[in-house]
Each structure stands twice: as C-alpha cells, then as structure tokens.
Chains A and B, each alone.
Chain A
Amino acid sequence: METEEQWADDILKSLDGIKKAEPGADLFAKITAQLPEENDVKIIPLQRLVWLAAAASIVIAINIHVFNTQNNTDTNSTSETTELLNDYVLYKTN
C-alpha cells in the first residue's frame, strides 16, 4: 500500500511528458472574423484639420510668392540683356 506522500509525489510527476493543448480548428476563423470589426477607423480631430489647412495655406502662399518673384526677376534680367545687346550692337540689324 502506498503512503499519502508517495501518492502525492506521483501526482506531482503526472505532468511529465505533457504536450501543448491545441485549440479547436474554428478558433482562428473566429479571431480573424473579429479583427476588422475591432480595427476602428481613425478620425482626425477637427482642430488638427484646421491646423493642417492653415499650414498648407502658408506653404501654398510662400510658393506663389516665390514663383512671382522669380518671374519678375526673369523679366528684369531679360530686359537688361536686351538693353546691353542694343548698346553694344553685338549682332547685325537689317
């Protein structure tokens, strides 16, 4: 007859050789079915949108300003070149 101690020691060894339990085959399907529902659509707060719009407007304004300045500079430099050419008659005029 085994003693209580021996019995308890045997019970403690009963997990030897244990294999991992696998879930039911449908668990993965259940999880994937839930994923899109759980994936909340991110909403950008209105305040952040206002800031984004303001920043975009400033960038556009700077671009327009730089573009206009560049055009004026080009026009000025073209007229200066024409004057220079006329002054020195670098090419024949008929």
Chain B
Amino acid sequence: MYNTALGYLQNVEEAEEITQDVFLSIFKRANTFKGQSKVSTWIYRITINKALNQIEKRNRRPKSNLEIQDYHQIDFQHPGILLENKEKAQYLFSVINTLIATQKTAFILSYVEGLPQQEVADIMETTVKSVESLLQRAKTNLKKKLISIYPEGNHKK
C-alpha cells in the first residue's frame, strides 16, 4: 500500500502518512468488510481513495510561490526504479498527475504496482477491456504531455 500511495503522491512523508491512515482504517473498519472481494482488493481501494483525497486536499490548499515552484519541479525519484531509468522516470512521474483519476489509477496499479489487469479491473470495479482502454488513453495522454516538455537539444546517448 505504501508503494501505491507513493505512486500517487510522489512524496515519502505523505505516502507514509497515508499508509498509517490506511492501517488504522482497516483496524477500525475490519468488521465492515463484507468478503465480496479479496482483502487485498479492499485494501487497495481504501489506499487509492485516501491517496486521491490527499491530492484533492493538496490542490485545494492555497499555495505559496515556493510551493508552486516545487510542484512543477521534475525531481521525484521512485526508489524502485532501475538506476539506468532514474532520469527518464523523473519526467514520467512529473506528468502522471496530469491524468484524470481513472487513467491515473489504471496506470499506477499496472505499471508502478505491477498488478495483472484482472486485479486492476477488480479494484476499479470494471472490466479488463475497460482497463486496457484506460491504459491506452493514459499512455496517449502521457506521450502528448511528455512531448510538450521535451527538453531542448536532447540527444540520444
């Protein structure tokens, strides 16, 4: 759940806070689990909702100029990224949050969390076909965004 939260929030402190929050929610609401889905699916749903709420809260809060500057910086490094991909992944993470919530969820669960499409579909309460379509649209939108931030004079190494 920490990895999922980190994928959404791209901030270690916030991801840890959400992880704590999810644990406490599960502890308090364990008796409300109806057993209609896998426990992991239920936990993923709680984590995603809390992460999305946190982003919502973050967006509502008035920001200082410094915070706006920080927000647009391409500096988040996911600790699980292979060393040779670290620089490239920074660009990718900087545009993930421009996606709409459903595309973002499908993308993070599939590519950051590495879940099979069937499990992603179960978590999102949709079909595998819908997940495929969401991923396709997410990739198209991410590509457009990436092209718009293409660094000048970039040469292939």
Contact = CB atoms under 8 A, between A and B. Distances in A.
B156 to A, nearest CB: 4
Interface of A: 1-2, 4-24, 27, 30-31, 34-35, 38-39
Interface of B: 2-3, 6, 12, 15-16, 19-20, 23-24, 27-28, 78-82, 85, 88-89, 91-92, 111-114, 139, 142-143, 146-147, 150, 154-156
A5 B3 contact: no
B27 A15 contact: no
Contact of A38 (B28, B80, B150): B28
User: Is chain A's binding surface mostly helix, strand, loop or mixed?
Assistant: helix
B131 to A, nearest CB: 16
A21 B20 CA distance: 15
B89 A14 contact: yes
B96 to A, nearest CB: 10
